Amino acid sequence: MLFRKLIELLFRMKSIPKIKILLVLLLMISVAIGADDAGNWIGSFSSEDYEDFLEPVEKEKIYYYWQMEKLKRAVAPRYIRYIDSSLTLETGKLLNRGILFTFEGIENEEVSVCGNFSLWRCIPLKKNDHGVFYIVFDPESRDTIREELKILEYKFRVDGLFTHDPSNPDSVEDGDGSLISRLIAISTGPDKLVTTRILEDSPYEELEYRTVEFRIYAPDAEMVTLVGDFNHWDPEEDILKKEKEVFTLIKKMKPGNYLYNFVQDGKIILDTFNQNTRLREDTGEISSYLIVPERSYALERK
């Protein structure tokens, strides 16, 4: 009776594709059958099993979220793909991805993870019946800083005291006489808030130029070009390259003030997240405004 009502409910939710509904039902049945045998493992099948239904994913294990309750020991932090039926019913998304943090502390009351990915705000872990604390942290959540980090640094706060992750062999001194744990970051997707920026200059660069990277998030665009007073507003001179839904172009520019726009599939648009704009005197249209500063120090050639 319960499954019949669930099926009727799911099929009334038009926003969720039917194939995902069927997959969720199959997963729930498998959960009910296999829950008693899941005490010592947290992975059962490969993401290759889903390649006909979902977007291509790396060949890595997929986990059920409920299996975290069966963990009997802590493991080193890792990126995982996991299935959480409660999230699937809310969002229609079958696969999720995050970083699994765990800590063994059967005698401890509270454990949190604090790191540079959350501006060192501590995020509480959940404790299972075996005394293992766990959390799957979403790197793209609102709790994550916007800046892309290459190395994630973190500590656990255990009953109010900070300590490194004993399950993670990658730890370094933090300068205060204790250790800090580290994890190499894996890019999880494009930053939707990207905008134009000035890059650090190499000692080999010409001293009178700066390196500027023009960027815009445009997942549905076929082509994006750059126009501005530095290229006579020619839409065919500077063509951006698309990578992971973000279009980019690196350009050498002399210090100064510039007006520019992007041309997305023939339509002139502003640089979405550049808050500086000005009116063009010749056309009266609004353009994005860029200041390329002088170098703050002299670079020596090697």
The DSSP string of 38-90 is: -TT-S--EEGGGGTTTS----S-EEEEGGGGGG--S----EEEEEE-HHHHHH
Q: Is residue 256 part of a domain?
A: yes
Q: 157 or 68, which is more confident?
A: 157
Same domain as 166, residue 207 = no
For residue 64, the model assigns a pLDDT of 84
Q: Is residue 296, in this structure, part of any structural domain at all?
A: no
Q: Do residue 6 and residue 74 come from a single domain?
A: no
Residue range 92-120, pLDDT digits in tens = 667 777 889 999 999 999 999 999 888 89
Residue 122 pLDDT > 50: yes
- d(C-alpha 257, C-alpha 108), whole Å: 58
Looking at the DSSP bridge assignments, the partners of residue 208 are: none
Q: Using pLDDT thresholds of 50, 70 and 90, give the confidence band for residue 38.
A: very low
What domain range includes position 152?
60-186
β-strand pairing of 151-158 with 111-115: antiparallel
| CA atoms lying within 13 Å on the CB side of residue 110 | 9
- DSSP track, 113-130: EEEGGGTT--EEPEE-TT
Vertex 287, ends 282 and 289: CA angle to 5°?
A: 110
Residue 55 lies in a domain: no
Do 199 and 274 reside in the same domain of the chain? yes
- DSSP for 192-217 reads TT---EEPPPPTTS-TT-EEEEEEEE
What's the whole-number mean pLDDT along residues 125-153?
79
What is the rounded distance in angstroms from the CA atom of residue 83 to the CA atom of residue 63?
Answer: 6
The C-alpha atoms of residue 253 and residue 198 are separated, in whole angstroms, by: 10
- Does 72 share its domain with 178? yes
Q: Does residue 64 share a domain with residue 31? A: no
CB of 289 within 8 A of CB of 275?
A: no
234 and 135 in a common domain: no
Is 48 contained in some domain?
A: no
Going 208 to 148 to 276 to 271, the CA torsion angle's sign is positive
pLDDT of residue 278: 92
Question: Of how many residues is the chain composed?
Answer: 302
Query: For position 12, what pLDDT does the model report?
Result: 54
Q: Which of 3-12, 24-33, 50-59, 240-249 has the lowest mean pLDDT?
A: 50-59
* Greatest mean pLDDT range, 131-145, 166-180, 200-214: 166-180
Name the pTM for this structure: 0.47
294 compared with 237, residue with greater pLDDT: 237
Q: Are 210 and 252 in contact (CB under 8 A)?
A: yes
- Is the pLDDT reported for residue 146 higher than 80? no
Both 71 and 116 in a single domain?
yes
Domain shared by 283 and 216, yes or no: yes
Among residues 186, 214, 235, the one where a domain terminates is 186
Top mean-pLDDT range of 24-28, 154-158, 269-273: 154-158
How is residue 113 written in tokens?
């993870």
How far apart, in whole angstroms, are the C-alpha atoms of residue 181 and residue 74? 15
Residue 120 lies in a domain: yes
Least confident of 19-23, 52-56, 57-61, 102-106: 52-56
12 and 116 in a single domain? The answer is no
Residue 272 has pLDDT above 90, yes or no: no
- pLDDT for the residue numbered 49: 33
User: Do residues 270 and 290 lie in contact, with contact meaning Cβ atoms separated by under 8 Å?
Assistant: no
CA-based nearest residue to 247, from 228, 267, 265, 225: 225
* 18 within domain boundaries: yes
Confidence of residue 247 (pLDDT cuts 50, 70, 90): very high
Do residues 250 and 210 lie in contact, with contact meaning Cβ atoms separated by under 8 Å?
A: no
| 199 located within any domain | yes
Residue 300 lies in a domain: no
Name the token pair of 16: 């969720």
What is the percent of the chain with per-residue pLDDT over 90, rounded to a whole number? 40
State the total domains in the chain: 3
What CA–CA distance (Å, rounded) separates 31 from 45? 13
Averaged pLDDT of the chain: 77
CATH of the domain at 215: 2.60.40.10
